A and B are shown apart, each in its own frame.
Chain A
Amino acid sequence: MTKELSNKVINIKPSGIRKFFDIVSEMEDVISLGVGEPDFDTPWHIRDEGIYALEKGRTFYTSNSGLKDLRIEISNYIKRTQNIDYNPDNEIIVTIGGSEAIDIGLRSLVNDGDEVIIPQPSYVSYEPCTILANAKPVIINLKAENEFRLKPNELLNAITDKTKLLILPYPNNPTGAIMEKKDLEDIAQIIKEKDIYVMSDEIYSELSYKEKHVSIASISSMKERTILINGFSKSYAMTGWRLGYACAPKEIIKQMTKIHQFAIMCAPTTSQYAAVEALKNGDKDVEEMKRAYNQRRRFLIQSFKDLNIECFEPYGAFYVFPCIKEFNMTSEEFATRLLEEEKVAAIPGSAFGKSGEYHLRISYAYSLESLKIAMARFKKFVDRLRANM
Chain B
Amino acid sequence: MREELLAIIEKNSRIDLKDVAKMLGKEEIDIVNELASLEKEGVICGYHTLIDWEKTSIEKVTALIEVRVTPQRGQGFDKIAERIYNYPEVRSVYLISGGYDLLVIIEEKTLREISNFVSDKLSTLDSVLSTATHFILKKYKDHGTILTKKHDDEREIITP
* Chain A partners chain B: yes
Residue pair A345, B157 in contact (C-beta under 8 Å): yes
Knowing A35-B155, A39-B153, the reply to whether A295 touches B160 (Cβ < 8 A) is no
Contact among B4, B23, B155, B157 for A25, CB-based, below 8 A: B157
Q: Give B145-160 as 1s and 0s: 1 = Cβ < 8 Å from A's Cβ atoms.
A: 0000000010111111
Interface residues of B in 1-60 (CB under 8 A from A): 4, 7-8, 15, 19, 22-25
Chain A residue contacts of B24, Cβ below 8 A:
295, 298
List the A residue with the shortest CB-CB distance to B25: A298
* A21-B157 CB under 8 A given contacts A291-B4, A295-B8: yes
Kindly state whether residue A254 has any CB partner on chain B within 8 Å: no
| Known contacts A39-B153, A291-B4, A295-B8: A21-B22 contact under CB 8 Å | no
Are A37 and B157 closer than 8 Å at their CB atoms? no
> Which residues of the partner chain B approach A372 to less than 8 Å between Cβ atoms?
19
Q: Is A298 a contact partner of B22 (Cβ separation < 8 A)?
A: yes
22 A-B pairs whose Cβ atoms sit less than 8 Å apart in the complex: A15-B160, A17-B158, A17-B160, A20-B158, A21-B156, A21-B158, A34-B159, A35-B155, A36-B159, A123-B160, A291-B7, A295-B4, A295-B8, A295-B24, A296-B23, A298-B24, A303-B22, A347-B158, A366-B153, A368-B15, A368-B23, A372-B19
A42: min CB distance to chain B, Å: 13
Known: A295-B8, A298-B24, A298-B25. A34 touches B157 (CB 8 A): yes
In angstroms, Cα B23 to Cα A298, docked, is 5
Cβ of A17 to closest chain B Cβ, rounded Å: 5
Of all chain B residues, the one with the shortest Cβ separation from A367 is B153
Q: How far is the CA of A127 from the CA of B8 in the complex (A)?
A: 41
Structural contact, B19 and A24, CB atoms closer than 8 A: no
C-alpha spacing A55/B126, complex, angstroms: 53
Within 8 Å of chain B (Cβ to Cβ): is A32?
Answer: yes
Instruction: Please count how many residues in chain A sit with their CB below 8 Å of the partner chain's CB atoms.
Output: 30
Residues of A participating in the B interface, judged by any CB pair closer than 8 Å: 15, 17, 20-21, 24-25, 30, 32, 34-37, 39, 123-125, 173, 239, 291, 295-296, 298-299, 302-303, 345, 347, 366, 368, 372
| A-binding residues in B (CB < 8 A) | 4, 7-8, 15, 19, 22-25, 153, 155-160
Residues of B within 8 A of A20 (CB): 158
- Closest residue on chain A to residue B3 by CB atoms: A291
Query: Which residues on the A side are within 8 Å of B159 (C-beta)?
Result: 17, 34-37, 239
Query: Is the CB–CB distance between A302 and B155 below 8 Å?
Result: no
6 nearest A-B residue pairs (beta carbon): A295-B23, A34-B158, A302-B22, A299-B22, A21-B158, A298-B25
How long is the Cα–Cα vector from A303 to B8 in the complex, in angstroms? 19
Give the contacting residue for A35; candidates B15, B19, B23, B158; CB below 8 A. Answer: B158
Nearest chain A CB to B41 CB, angstrom units: 23
Alpha-carbon distance A94/B153, docked complex (angstroms): 29
A345 to B158, CA, bound (A): 8
A291-B4, A295-B8 given; A35·B156 CB < 8 A: yes
Q: Are B157 and A30 in contact (CB under 8 A)?
A: yes
| Residues of A close to B160: CB separation below 8 A | 15, 17, 36, 123-125, 173
User: How far is A303 from B158 in the complex, measured between Cα atoms in Å?
Assistant: 22
Which residues on the B side are within 8 Å of A239 (C-beta)? 159
Give the residue name and chain of the B residue nearest to A295 (CB): B23
Of B15, B19, B23, most buried by chain A (CB within 10 Å of CB) is: B23
Distance in angstroms from B38 CB to nearest chain A CB is: 18
How far does the alpha carbon of A161 sit from the alpha carbon of B83 in the complex, in Å? Answer: 85
Alpha-carbon separation in the docked complex, A47 to B157 (Å)? 23
B12 → chain A, closest Cβ, in Å?
Answer: 9
Q: How far is the CB of B132 from chain A (nearest CB, A)?
A: 31
Cα A345 to Cα B155 in complex, Å, equals 14
